[in-house]
Structure 1
Amino acid sequence: MGKLTTHVLDTANGRPGAGVKVELFALAGDTRRALKTTTTNHDGRCDEPLLEGASFATGEYELVFHAGDYFAATGAQLPQPRFVDRVVLRFGIADANAHYHVPLLVSPWSYSTYRGS
């Protein structure tokens, strides 16, 4: 069976993004359904997969990373409004038997992602 995992890397400070709130939603057209809310651990990872087993299915999903709150908590000097605040990543799962790893590399000024392994 497949699974969905993530992690956060704080590229501004060269360390894991520990304590980042992450929300997961399932998308169906204009409908957005909350599936899970978690916080990254000391290594910037979630303690368990966001989806796995019977709950892991093909479809469209959205991850919301509360990056602005994370950087504010680190004491970073942020403009108001924040340039990078909540990072929203919409993606599709086409193979329910695969491992989808969706990391976030983030700073107060930029972010990127990729499908990892």
Structure 2
Amino acid sequence: MSLSTQVLDTTTGEPASGMAVSLWQSVAIEGEAPAEGAWTLVTEGRTNEDGRIDAWPVWEEVYRLVFATGPWWAERGMPALYPEVVVTFAVTDRATHYHVPLLAGPFAYTTYRER
């Protein structure tokens, strides 16, 4: 299984290249839902010129993608409401590639799973 993401800047319609993104895996606490447990860093990187990060390995677990949106907007001289965007999701199908895009603006964002 693998995971990819792409960040698009909704103010310009262009890819958000150079944004820092980290991938965290849930460390479930017995008796609690996985998302309520602690998190451990799996890997981190920056989006490429197409706003993408490709092929991070994942397993059947609960993960978080943390997008450093605040610093990215600050580098462009724009204030932002969200200093980071955290997307928590469950990988449930071992045979499927997961692509989780982020459409980001300084005051709004949306995400979805693309197949």
Indicate the residue corresponding to 2:34 in structure 1: none
Task: Give the drift of 1:75.
Answer: 1.9
- Deviation track 1:35-72 (CA, whole Å, cap 9, x = no partner) reads 001000111012x3122xxxx31010000000111111
Whether 2:27 is the aligned partner of 1:39: answer no
Whether 2:21 is the aligned partner of 1:22: answer yes
Tell me the TM-score normalised to structure 1 length.
0.87
Indicate the residue corresponding to 1:90 in structure 2: 88
Please identify runs of 4+ aligned residues in structure 1 that moved more than 2 A.
Answer: none
Q: Aligned partners of 1:87, 1:24: CA distance in 2, in Å?
A: 12
Indicate the residue corresponding to 2:32 in structure 1: none
Written as runs of structure 1 = structure 2, the 5 A alignment for 1:1-80 is 2-29=1-28, 30-46=37-53, 48-51=54-57, 56-76=58-78, 78=79
Structure 1: runs of 5+ lacking an equivalent: none
Tell me the TM-score normalised to structure 2 length.
0.88
Task: Give the drift of 1:31.
Answer: 2.0
Q: CA RMSD in A?
A: 1.0
- Percent identical across equivalent pairs? 36
